[in-house]
Amino acid sequence: MDVLLVDGYNIIGDWEELSRLRDKDLSQARKLLIEKMAEYKAYRGYRVIVVFDAYEVKGLGSNEDQFGVEVIYTKEKETADECIERLVKSLKNVKTKVYVATSDYAEQRTIFQQGAYRKSARELKLEVGHIQREILADLEDYQNKQSSRNPIIDPETWAALEKMRRGKD
């Protein structure tokens, strides 16, 4: 299974929608990013891990599962970059491609050296937008098929005809 590691605050700072929200309510910006990553996970089938810095926060850090996305808050004095580098080392193997979403150039170079792939914040945003458009198109297609299926026949008549078609008494 492929893995996407997301440098949470880097992406929030880069995506205009999340950046504006961050200025008003940081926790809502984090939640919206996680929701978008949950859609990404559901559509792409990747394991998604979002990492948020807690470098200036006292504590042991934490791991949570939100909407099927693994969320890591780093421990005190650990940066998101350090955590991501550690995760790349532990997750990378012959069967697993590891992608790191960040626009931090120094971090991109480091993860390249470890054999991971990078997605810039812009690339990830474009991919998320494409996925959202595909989901809307699939939903619209499904709704059109549902509404065109039996617009004239009432449910009772449809059930009787279906019973006859299947040869059931």
Q: Which residues, at least 6 apart from 41, have a Cβ–Cβ distance to it below 8 Å? A: 4, 47, 48, 68, 69
Where do the domains of the chain lie, and which CATH numbers do they carry? Answer: 3-127 (3.40.50.1010)
pLDDT grade for 116, boundaries at 50, 70 and 90: very high
Give the chain's mean pLDDT: 90
pLDDT grade for 56, boundaries at 50, 70 and 90: low
Quote the tokens at residue 96.
Answer: 């697993």
Q: Read off the pLDDT of each residue in 9-29 and give the average, rounded to a whole number.
A: 96
pLDDT digits (tens, 9 = 90+) for 133-151: 999 999 888 887 776 665 5
How far is 42 from 138, CA to CA, in rounded Å? 14
Q: Which residues, at least 6 apart from 32, have a Cβ–Cβ distance to it below 8 Å? A: 17, 18, 21
Q: What is the pTM of this model?
A: 0.82
Predicted local confidence at residue 169, as pLDDT: 59
pLDDT grade for 77, boundaries at 50, 70 and 90: confident
The β-bridge partners of 51 are: 7, 72
pLDDT at 126 over 60: yes
How far is 6 from 102, CA to CA, in rounded Å? 7
